[in-house]
């Protein structure tokens, strides 16, 4: 009978081939990470659902990491037992991905925690995740980044071909809606691309929303969204989209405020759902919504007062080229003339 293996070897094999995975799902890539561990896709020796934090050996960070969420990711990592391996799953976790130029996105989770393997893709394929897990379980081999070029095996079956879908046209009574808004509000009404927009003064903002909500012909009882347009340097436009579920029609209400005194009345008393929309607009653009019961910040991390979506702010990420692959249309390769370079949206002129 051969001698029993050393205890260190048993412990090493047990840790390598009995991984307990904890997925920190932050955005759409989290769906891919979760699908890879469901149904008949369980890789041998990988436990997909983790119990208490003290039993976790692999931490998968999937999705976009924001500056506000970054301290929580670090706190979670510090609470796990050592040694814990970290997988950065997807382009957003690796470098910020398509949201690299956002004011609130961390440019890679490796700025917060040490990463053992990077899984590329937007989103990555499930087999790329399994390849990264396999790289961490190979005995005697240090963890290495998993690359898409390493996956040479073709799929077992081709992807399904989806045919063209029939689109059901829907007519909106644009003319009738515009006339009704003109009759009720009395201000200028515009119609473009099937969307009706009524301009109202700031002092009539609440009464206009209340009228549009209660009028039976408009039935703007569904509050869809409130957003702000920075019309630099003039001021700001506050836009509300109301919708009628019964009539299947919608319209916009718009008001303006000057840049030196950006204040409009709050619609919280008319639509309860406007509360967090107004908090977000106040934080991003610096507007004051008079009468709002709780104007506390909503999105940005604590510390510092600034309004990142104002056009006068110069964001470094909008002045520096994205470090990813260069679009062939801009390189001039292949005998084609290079496309005229465009400035990113929101970059000051």
CATH of the domain at 220: 3.30.460.80
Give the residue from 114, 149, 184 where a domain finishes: 149
Residue 295 domain-assigned (yes or no): no
Give the residue from 275, 290, 305 where a domain finishes: 290
Structure-token match 């500056």, residue found = 67
Check residue 4 and give its pLDDT: 58
Whether residues 197 and 70 fall in one domain = no
Whether residues 78 and 121 fall in one domain = yes
Residue 37 domain-assigned (yes or no): yes
Residue 341 domain-assigned (yes or no): no
Q: Are 107 and 100 in contact (CB under 8 A)?
A: yes
CATH of the domain at 111: 3.40.50.12280
Whether residues 145 and 24 fall in one domain = yes
Whether residues 144 and 184 fall in one domain = no
Q: List the domain range (segments joined by +) for residue 135.
A: 7-149
235, burial (CB in 10 Å: exposed 0-12, middle 13-18, buried 19+):
middle
Count other C-beta atoms under 10 Å from residue 21's C-beta. Answer: 22
Count other C-beta atoms under 10 Å from residue 193's C-beta. Answer: 5
Residue 302 domain-assigned (yes or no): no
Check residue 239 and give its pLDDT: 96
Check residue 200 and give its pLDDT: 96
Residue 307 domain-assigned (yes or no): no
What phi and psi values does residue 273 have, to the nearest 5 degrees? -70, -10
Check residue 274 and give its pLDDT: 94
Give the DSSP H/E element, type plus range, for residue 86: strand 85-89
Whether residues 95 and 212 fall in one domain = no
Whether residues 212 and 88 fall in one domain = no
Q: What is the DSSP string of 252-301?
A: EEEEEEESSS-EEE--TTT-TTHHHHHHHHHHHH--EEET-S-----SSP
Give the residue from 261, 290, 319 where a domain finishes: 290
Whether residues 13 and 139 fall in one domain = yes
Residue 163 domain-assigned (yes or no): no
Q: How far, in Å, are 14, 102, 148, 159, 314 from residue 96 at the CA level?
A: 34, 9, 18, 28, 19
Q: How far, in Å, are 224, 278, 289 from residue 293 at the CA level?
A: 20, 11, 10
Half-sphere exposure of 308 (CA within 13 A, CB side): 15
Whether residues 138 and 188 fall in one domain = no
Check residue 167 and give its pLDDT: 34
Whether residues 188 and 91 fall in one domain = no
Whether residues 130 and 212 fall in one domain = no
β-pairing verdict for 189-192 and 195-199 = antiparallel
Whether residues 217 and 143 fall in one domain = no
Give the DSSP H/E element, type plus range, for residue 76: helix 70-79
Check residue 184 and give its pLDDT: 93
Residue 91 domain-assigned (yes or no): yes
Per-residue pLDDT tens listing for the chain (349 residues): 566 566 666 666 666 666 677 778 788 877 766 665 554 444 555 555 545 556 677 888 988 888 888 888 888 888 887 778 888 988 889 888 888 878 788 888 888 888 888 888 888 887 888 888 888 776 333 443 434 443 444 434 343 343 443 333 334 456 888 999 999 998 899 988 888 999 999 999 999 999 999 999 999 999 999 999 999 889 999 999 999 988 888 999 999 999 999 999 999 999 999 999 999 999 999 999 999 988 888 888 777 667 888 888 776 655 665 555 555 555 555 555 555 555 544 444 5
Whether residues 216 and 139 fall in one domain = no
Residue 256 domain-assigned (yes or no): yes
* Count of domains forming the chain: 2
């Amino acid at each position: 009978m051969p001698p029993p293996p050393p205890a260190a070897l048993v412990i090493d094999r047990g840790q390598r081939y009995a991984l307990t995975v904890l997925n920190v799902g932050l955005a759409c890539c989290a769906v891919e990470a979760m699908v890879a561990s469901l149904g008949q896709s369980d890789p041998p020796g990988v436990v997909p659902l983790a119990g208490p934090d003290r039993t976790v050996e692999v931490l998968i960070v999937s999705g976009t990491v924001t500056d506000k969420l970054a301290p929580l990711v670090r706190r979670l990592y510090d609470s796990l037992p050592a040694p814990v391996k970290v997988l950065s799953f997807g382009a957003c976790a690796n470098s910020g991905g398509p949201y690299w130029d956002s004011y609130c996105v961390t440019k890679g989770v490796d700025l917060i925690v040490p990463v053992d393997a990077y899984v590329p893709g937007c989103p990555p394929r499930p087999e790329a995740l399994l390849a990264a897990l396999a790289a961490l379980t190979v005995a005697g081999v240090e963890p290495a980044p998993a690359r898409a070029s390493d996956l040479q095996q073709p799929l077992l079956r081709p992807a399904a071909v989806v045919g063209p879908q029939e689109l059901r046209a829907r007519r909106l009574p644009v003319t009738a809606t515009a006339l009704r808004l003109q009759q009720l509000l009395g201000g200028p009404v515009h119609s473009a691309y099937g969307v009706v927009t009524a301009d109202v003064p700031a002092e009539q903002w609440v009464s206009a929303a209340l009228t549009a909500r209660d009028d039976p012909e408009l039935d703007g009882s569904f509050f869809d969204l409130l957003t702000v347009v920075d019309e630099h340097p003039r001021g700001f436009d506050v836009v509300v989209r109301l919708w009628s579920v019964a009539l299947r029609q919608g319209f916009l209400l718009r008001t303006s405020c000057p840049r030196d005194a950006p204040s409009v009345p709050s619609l919280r008393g008319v639509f309860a759902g406007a509360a967090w929309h107004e908090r977000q607009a106040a934080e991003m653009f610096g507007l004051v919504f008079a009468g709002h019961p709780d104007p506390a910040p909503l999105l940005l991390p604590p510390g510092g007062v600034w309004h990142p979506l104002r056009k006068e702010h110069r964001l470094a990420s909008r002045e520096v080229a994205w470090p990813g692959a260069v679009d062939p249309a801009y390189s001039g390769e292949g005998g084609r003339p290079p496309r005229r370079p465009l400035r990113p949206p929101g970059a000051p002129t």
